[in-house]
Amino acid sequence: MKLNGAFWPSSKTLCLAQTHHLSSPREHTLSQAVVFFEVEILDAKTKDKLCFLDKVRPLHKYYPQWYAARQSIRLDPKGKSLKDEDVLQHLPVGTTATFYFRDLGAQISWVTVFLTEYGGPLLLYLMFYFRAPFIYAPKYDFTTSKHWVVHLACMCHSFHYLKRLLETLFVHRFSHGTMPLRNIFKNCTYYWGFAAWMAYYINHPLYTPPTIYGEQQVRIALIIFLFCQVGNFSIHIALRNLRPPGSKTRKIPYPTKNPFTWIFLLVSCPNYTYELGSWFGFTLMTQCLPVAFFTAVGFIQMTVWAKGKHRSYLKEFRDYPPLRSPILPFVL
């Protein structure tokens, strides 16, 4: 519930707080069907009163620097933010409601964040692949590797991030339109830094491909990678179809006719399961330590996200399937 158009009488959310002046007593009844509210907004950290709304107006009318996307409104200073679709009369407050405001900081759209953090690794990897000057010794500038697995790894890495970019533009539907601007620097450092580290060693002139199992290992790794890429895309499509355009409704995801979605029977977040499988295949393909480290770090982070989403499902849906695990069937 942000103090913008989604909160005020111009939309469905604050349907009972009209622009009439509120005077004493606290509860005013023009008829048995109409109740008016007084809303007090306090700073969540300092508890200072920001405004007292006896004539309901958006908070950014009082403080223009706090545009809608950077507002967090809570019933408790340390509680969770209210949702945009929350209705004032359904909240556990009296006719005098006290809310706590927290500034979320400068915001940026999720689409912009994803395009930036996924576009960087794609371009950086290709710079190392084509051995742009100042990366390796001058005699290797714009040369190509003699190992076919290096070219295969470049195609797989590029395919992965091109897929992510296209999904951002045409598949994903975001429940929240923005995220804090500061996060883009953290995310880009993670994705761009690991991409450069992996690309440096895989495309290095002295790189040696897997030798123990050789081509057989690379072929098996390629099958794992492609299988998981298709699975990941299938899950994203299934999740997209759960949410109509412009809607924020949440539903329990179930398997569809697509066999790649049948993993929903056992896992709450199979998109992370397939993502982990893709990077495991890429690690097996390149047999490169930086790739293995990236896979391990990604697994830890995705496990945290999956557990959080799994808990959210259990809390929100009483009939949530009990056999599901967050990310790995029967394990984690």
Q: 90-141: per-residue pLDDT in tens?
A: 666 666 667 776 766 677 888 888 999 999 999 999 999 999 998 999 999 9
Q: 4-61: per-residue pLDDT in tens?
A: 433 433 333 333 333 333 333 444 444 444 555 566 777 777 877 776 665 555 555 5
CA distances (Å), 238 to each of 88, 171, 261, 279, in order?
A: 33, 10, 8, 22
Estimate the crossing angle of helix 182-202 against helix 289-316, to 10 degrees. 140
So what's the pLDDT on residue 32? 46
CATH 3.10.20.90, applies to 29-105: yes
So what's the pLDDT on residue 2? 42
* pLDDT interval class at 63 (50, 70, 90): low
So what's the pLDDT on residue 38? 64
So what's the pLDDT on residue 230? 98
The helices-and-strands tally (H runs, E runs) of the chain is 7, 8
Tokens of 34: 């109409």
So what's the pLDDT on residue 23? 34
So what's the pLDDT on residue 6? 37
Q: 293-321: per-residue pLDDT in tens?
A: 999 999 999 999 999 999 999 998 999 99
So what's the pLDDT on residue 194? 96
Q: Which residues of 103-120 are buried (b: 16+ CB within 10 A; e: fewer)?
A: ebeebbebeebbebbbbb
Is the pLDDT at 267 greater than 80? The verdict is: yes
So what's the pLDDT on residue 8? 39
Q: Where are the domains of the chain?
A: 29-105, 108-316
- For residues 245 and 173, give the distance between their C-alpha atoms in angstroms, rounded to a whole number: 8
Tokens of 241: 């179809």
So what's the pLDDT on residue 301? 96
